[in-house]
Amino acid sequence: MKVKMLDLSREYKKYRKEYIEAVERVFDRGDFILGEDVKNVERIVADYVGVKYGIGVGNGTDALLLSLMACGVGENDEVITTPFTFFATVEVILQLRAIPVFVDISLEDFNIDTDLIEEKITTKTKAIIPVHIFGYPVNMERIMNLANKYNLVVIEDCAQAIGAKIKEKKCGSFGSTGTFSFFPTKNIGCAGDGGMVVTDSEDVYKKIRSLRVHGSSQKYIHDDIGLNSRLDTIQAALILEKLKRIEEINEKRRINAQFYNKMLTDKVKKPSEKKGYHHIYHQYSILAERRDELKEYLKSKGVDSVIYYPLPMHKQNVVQKILKKEYSLPVCENVSKKILSLPIYPELEDEEKEYVVEKINEFYDRS
């Protein structure tokens, strides 16, 4: 048997008609740039997250960059974040010549360890970027308490966390802004690049709307140096279709996770949820002894798995070159050596899940 990490074609086959019709409607209207569907998806995502405004942008990276720009983060400002994320989170800080300050992660959920943040706050600290990694919420109460105490901007990187929540409050609704990615592999993915910023602040909303079109709020009049970063109407049309099924999409991932949690050997460390915390399992990630051997074994049996992330951000060449600072973040470094993500996507068949479990358990039983 072959079990892929993700097979998008299964979903596209099932909903092909809806997707084609949605794209055709855009062609019929011809409103390719910032058209009707962009406005609709901005409204729907903002309502879903529970904030006032949504701004459709080119991708999740730009959503972060535009948030930092709109919140006034710039040269030599310190931005506290996690070393255990996709590079984009850190890249945008460096692009603005601001300084990423890394805080180690928690072994429990792989998110920034909120107990360790306060000691890293200085007079230069301007912002915190918590990343809800793999779709599991960061303790936002702690983050917001610190942000209020020290007057810091909070940009929630929700690229992997659309629909994740703490009690009934959604990720993206706690901070100054929340940023989303609609990259095809995400829980709500389009057929290319796409992103969104959500915010409750009218000022930030207006600023980002201008910054995404070359710093212009009036045609051919420019107040800022911005970007060309708009969510395409065709992508928005596809996102609208998927958003109709968001609860079902996230729930299927949760059901797959529950199956793994129940059936996988206790020799691996499995994800868990704190009371009131709602995981959307963008990734299902275990900590495994002899991880590389396990990965090879699974590959030999036809099972895909991926290492998110093999090299922490503070160990990346470019980051080290710029920061010229040695960090020791032992939890993150240890996690990077043991983490392994398994297939979890909604269209995974029961036999495939069973096969994944069988092969992992077999690997540890044999040794």
**What residues line the site for ligand PLP (CB under 6 A)?**
59-61, 85-86, 88-89, 131, 157, 159-160, 181, 183, 193, 195
Distance in Å, CB of 195 to ligand PLP, minimum: 5
| Closest to ligand PLP by CB, 51 or 90 | 90
Distance in Å, CB of 242 to ligand PLP, minimum: 15
DSSP string, 244-301: TTHHHHHHHHHHHHHHHHHHS-TTSBPP---TTEE---SSEEEE-TTHHHHHHHHHHT
Residue 239: which H helix or E strand, with range?
helix 233-243
| Closest to ligand PLP by CB, 177 or 297 | 177
Identify the sign of the CA torsion 246, 247, 253, 257. Answer: positive
- Bond before 345 cis per omega within 30 degrees: no
| Closest to ligand PLP by CB, 19 or 86 | 86
Are 250 and 242 in contact by the 8 Å Cβ rule? The answer is no
| Closest to ligand PLP by CB, 259 or 284 | 284
Are 313 and 332 in contact by the 8 Å Cβ rule? The answer is no
Distance in Å, CB of 58 to ligand PLP, minimum: 8
Distance in Å, CB of 86 to ligand PLP, minimum: 4
Distance in Å, CB of 182 to ligand PLP, minimum: 7
Q: Give the number of residues written for the chain.
A: 367
**What Rg do the C-alpha atoms of the chain give, in angstroms?**
21
Distance in Å, CB of 57 to ligand PLP, minimum: 9
Are 110 and 134 in contact by the 8 Å Cβ rule? The answer is yes
Distance in Å, CB of 218 to ligand PLP, minimum: 28
Task: Give how far Cα 305 sits from Cα of 31, 66, 109, 125, 292, Å.
Answer: 40, 33, 19, 38, 11
| Closest to ligand PLP by CB, 239 or 294 | 239
Cα-based angle 138, 136, 103 (whole degrees, multiple of 5): 40
Distance in Å, CB of 150 to ligand PLP, minimum: 24
Please give the backbone phi and psi of residue 178, each rounded to the nearest 5 degrees, phi first: -125, 140
Q: How far apart are the first and last CA of the chain?
A: 23
- Select from 342, 232, 239, 346 the least CA-distant residue to 294: 342
| Closest to ligand PLP by CB, 3 or 197 | 197
Chain residue at closest Cβ approach to ligand PLP: 60
| Closest to ligand PLP by CB, 263 or 307 | 307
| Closest to ligand PLP by CB, 154 or 294 | 154
